[in-house]
């Protein structure tokens, strides 16, 4: 079966991690979130920074196979590129890693504007998970064991940060629901029902 990709964009504290985890178990595919992608980027950068000479690096690059070789080649080329904005460079590194992970097998990508990366992919399902502000504040209070005022401030700060990221890197910077196939209100449906709906949608699209 050809690989398929589920991208999940989400509002902060909408329980998207829990939903993605349930989907992963039901579909038998991995979830890659920000920490997993950043860890893969850092691992590749550490390998590149072990002090290999250009000749040894070139020889190693010739003998490496698969996506790792492509990624190492990308990072090596950065050394010779003109200085660019670090945030843009980091987005490009993460994008390459995400594309490589998707080539390895079907997967769920949480955040990272992955819907942009796979906008034209024929076997992609783009999901947006949200909840009301009050539901997200309650979720934050439960997750972080904090008071309502602190939780509200954190939700607002995270919303601003994610909005800035989306406006910079999304294909649809002015419309956060454009390009998404399914919108889920996790506050209304709950984690289990939200996950079940998305699993059934994935099976309908990709397993028939």
Quick: pLDDT tens for 102-122. Answer: 999 999 999 999 999 999 999
Residue 173 to residue 40: CA distance in whole angstroms: 27
Cβ-Cβ contacts under 8 Å for 17 (sequence gap 6 or more) = 33, 110
pLDDT of 78 > 60? The answer is no
**Strand, helix or coil at 126?**
strand
Cβ-Cβ contacts under 8 Å for 71 (sequence gap 6 or more) = 44, 96, 97, 100
What pLDDT was estimated at residue 76? 52
What phi and psi, each to the nearest 5 degrees, are found at residue 134?
-65, -40
CATH 3.40.50.300 in the chain, residue ranges: 1-29+106-208
What pLDDT band is residue 100 in, cutting at 50, 70 and 90? Answer: very high
What pLDDT was estimated at residue 74? 55
Q: Kindly report the CATH class assigned to 1-29+106-208.
A: alpha beta
Among candidates 98, 135, 132, 85, which has minimal Cα distance to 3?
98
Residue 57 to residue 94: CA distance in whole angstroms: 22
pLDDT of 51 > 80? The answer is no
């Amino acid at each position: 079966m050809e690989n398929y990709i589920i991208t999940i964009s989400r509002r902060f504290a909408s329980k998207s991690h829990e939903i993605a985890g349930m989907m992963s178990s039901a579909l038998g595919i991995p979830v890659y979130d920000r920490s997993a992608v950043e860890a893969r980027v850092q691992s590749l950068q550490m390998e590149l920074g072990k002090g290999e000479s250009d000749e040894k690096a070139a020889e190693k690059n010739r003998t490496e196979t698969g996506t790792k070789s492509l990624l190492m080649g990308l990072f090596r080329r950065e050394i010779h590129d003109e200085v660019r904005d670090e945030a843009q460079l980091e987005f490009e590194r993460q994008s390459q890693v995400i594309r490589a992970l998707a080539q390895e097998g079907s997967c769920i990508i949480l955040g990272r504007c992955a819907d942009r990366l796979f906008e034209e992919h024929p076997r992609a399902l783009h999901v947006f998970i949200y909840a009301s502000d009050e539901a997200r504040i309650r979720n934050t209070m439960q997750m972080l064991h904090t008071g309502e005022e602190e939780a509200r401030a954190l939700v607002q700060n995270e919303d601003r940060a994610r909005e800035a990221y989306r406006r910079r890197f999304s294909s649809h910077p002015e419309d956060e629901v454009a390009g998404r196939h399914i919108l889920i209100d996790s506050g209304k449906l709950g984690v289990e029902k939200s996950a079940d709906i998305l699993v059934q949608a994935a099976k309908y699209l990709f397993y028939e």
